[in-house]
Structure 1
Amino acid sequence: MFQDISIEKLNELRAKNEMTIIDVRSPSEFADSTIPGSINIPFFTDEERAEIGTLYKQVSTQTAKERGLEIMSAKLPAFVKRFAEIKGNKTVFCWRGGMRSRTTATVLSLMGIHVYRLDGGYRSFRKWVVETLGMMDFAPKVFVLHGNTGTGKTEILKVLKGKGYPVVDLEGLAGHRGSIFGEIGLKSNNQKTFDSLLLEEILRYRDEPYILIEAESKRIGKVVLPEFLIVKKEQGTHIMLEAPTALRVTNILDDYRPKEHKELSLKAFHQIKSRIHTPIAQEIEASLLTSQFGRAVELLLESYYDPRYAHTSHTYGEAFDQIPAIQFKTIEEAVELVEQRIKEMTNQMEPEQTIKSGV
Structure 2
Amino acid sequence: MFQDISIEKLNELRNKNEMTVIDVRSPSEFADSTIPGSINIPFFTDEERAEIGTLYKQVSTQTAKERGLEIMSAKLPAFVKRFAEIPGNKTVFCWRGGMRSRTTATVLSLMGIHVHRLDGGYRAFRKWVVETLETMDFAPEVYVLHGNTGTGKTEILKRLKEKGYPVVDLEGLAGHRGSIFGEIGMKSHNQKTFDSLLLEDMLRYKNEPFILIEAESKRIGKVVLPEFLVNKKEQGTHIMLKAPTSLRVSNILNDYQPVEHAEESMDAFQQIKSRIHTPIALEIEASMLTRQYGRAVELLLEYYYDPRYTHTSSAYGDEFAKIPTIQFDMLDEAVACVEKQIKEWLDQNKEVSKVRTGV
Classify the TM-score, shorter chain: over 0.9
Unaligned runs of 5+ in 1: 354-359
Q: Is 1:82 the equivalent of 2:82?
A: yes
- For 2:348 and 2:93, how far apart are their aligned partners in 1? 47
1:140-219 counterparts in 2 under 5 A?
A: 140-219=140-219
Give 1:114's aligned residue: 114
* Match of residue 67 from structure 1: 67
Calculate the TM-score normalised by the size of structure 2: 0.97
Residues 46-65 of structure 1 correspond to what in structure 2 (within 5 A)?
46-65=46-65
C-alpha separation in 1, matches of 2:69 and 2:336 = 62
Unaligned 5+ segments in structure 2 are 354-359
Q: Which runs of 4+ in 1 moved over 6 A?
A: none
Task: Give a deviation string over 1:223-279, Cα, whole Å, max 9, x none.
Answer: 000000000000000010000000000000000000111111110001001111111
1:232 aligns to what?
Answer: 232
Separation in structure 2 between the aligned mates of residue 284 and residue 227 of structure 1, nearest angstrom: 37
1:282 and 2:279 aligned? no
The alignment partner of 1:344 has SS state of: helix
TM-score, normalized by length of structure 1? 0.97
Change (3 A) 1:351 1:65: farther
Aligned partner of 1:356 in structure 2 is none
- Cα distance per residue 1:90-127 (max 9 Å; x no partner): 10000000000000000011111111000000000000
The yes-or-no answer on 1:244 pairing with 2:240 is no
**SS of structure 2 residue aligned to 1:248:** helix
Amino acid in the other structure paired with 1:193: T
Instruction: Decide whether the 8 Å contact of 2:238 with 2:324 is kept in 1.
Output: no
SS at structure 2 position matched to 1:166: coil
Give the C-alpha shift of residue 325 in structure 1. Answer: 1.4
Q: Which residue identity does 1:336 align to in structure 2?
A: A
Q: Are residues 1:336 and 2:336 paired?
A: yes
How far, CA to CA, are the matches of 1:15 and 1:185 in structure 2? 30
- Cα distance in structure 2, aligned partners of 1:132 and 1:266: 40
Measure the CA separation in 1 of the matches of 2:87 and 2:29. 25
Aligned-pair identity (%):
83
1:126-137 counterparts in 2 under 5 A? 126-137=126-137
Tell me what 1:319 maps to: 319
Task: Provide the rounded CA distance (Å) in 2 between the counterparts of 1:336 and 1:250.
Answer: 20
Residue type matched to 1:319 in 2?
E
Q: How far off is 1:323 after superposition?
A: 2.0
Shift, 1:321, TM fit: 1.0
Give the C-alpha shift of residue 352 in structure 1.
10
The whole-number CA distance in structure 1 between the counterparts of 2:85 and 2:322 is 60
Aligned residue pairs total: 353
Q: Distance in 2 between matches of 1:117 and 1:240?
A: 48
- Quote the offset at 1:324 in angstroms: 3.4
Counterpart code for 1:255: D
Who is 1:349 aligned against? 349
Query: d(CA) in 2 for partners of 1:57 and 1:288?
Result: 52
> Corresponding residue for 1:37?
37
Paired residues for 1:254-293 under 5 Å: 254-293=254-293
The residue aligned with 1:14 is 14
Give the C-alpha shift of residue 189 in structure 1: 0.5
